[in-house]
């Protein structure tokens, strides 16, 4: 059974969404798109609303919301402390890994700057021609 995109249930960041919400998402915020057939195990949780399939849309909004709520965290990008604004402008596809340091470990490495914890982000290396 194919998915009829016009009748499929749209879900953005785990919340059922309408067309207006979908249309308002800036392209640069899109991180992932997944199509589920109605009989897919992951679609079953949406019940009858998923009878025409489900389109799962993932944005970087949850991450941006996290940054806004956690301004007191220390953000470290490739070994250098940076502002949350710098982190907010990184496209998720460029990130190799994210590690979280709790307060004690962060303070041991970064001193008082790391008193509230640290988020360590490593970017993927770009290939040079």
User: pTM (2 decimals)?
Assistant: 0.57
Give me the residue spans of the domains in the chain.
Answer: 9-59, 63-123
pLDDT of residue 129: 56
Q: What is the pLDDT of residues 93-111, one digit of tens each?
A: 889 999 999 999 999 999 9
Q: What is the pLDDT of residues 29-80, one digit of tens each?
A: 888 899 999 889 989 899 999 999 999 999 888 777 777 777 788 999 999 9
pLDDT of residue 1: 59
**SS3 string of the chain?**
CCCCCCCCEEEECCEECCHHHHHCCCHHHEEEEEEECCCCCCCHHHHHHHCCCEEEEEECHHHHHHHHHCCCCEEEECCEEECHHHHHCCCHHHEEEEEEECHHHHHHHHHHHHCCCEEEEEECCCCCC
């Amino acid at each position: 059974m194919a998915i009829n995109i016009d009748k499929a249930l749209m879900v953005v960041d785990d919340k059922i969404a309408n067309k207006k919400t979908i249309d308002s998402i800036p392209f640069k915020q899109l991180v992932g798109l997944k199509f589920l057939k109605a009989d897919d195990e992951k679609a079953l949780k949406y019940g009858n609303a998923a009878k025409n399939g489900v389109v799962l849309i993932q944005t970087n909004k949850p991450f941006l919301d996290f940054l806004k709520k956690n301004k007191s965290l220390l953000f470290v990008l490739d070994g250098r402390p940076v502002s949350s604004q710098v982190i907010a402008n990184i496209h998720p596809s460029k990130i190799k890994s994210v590690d979280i340091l709790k307060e004690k470990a962060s303070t041991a490495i970064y001193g008082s700057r790391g008193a509230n914890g640290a988020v360590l982000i490593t970017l993927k290396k770009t290939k040079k021609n």
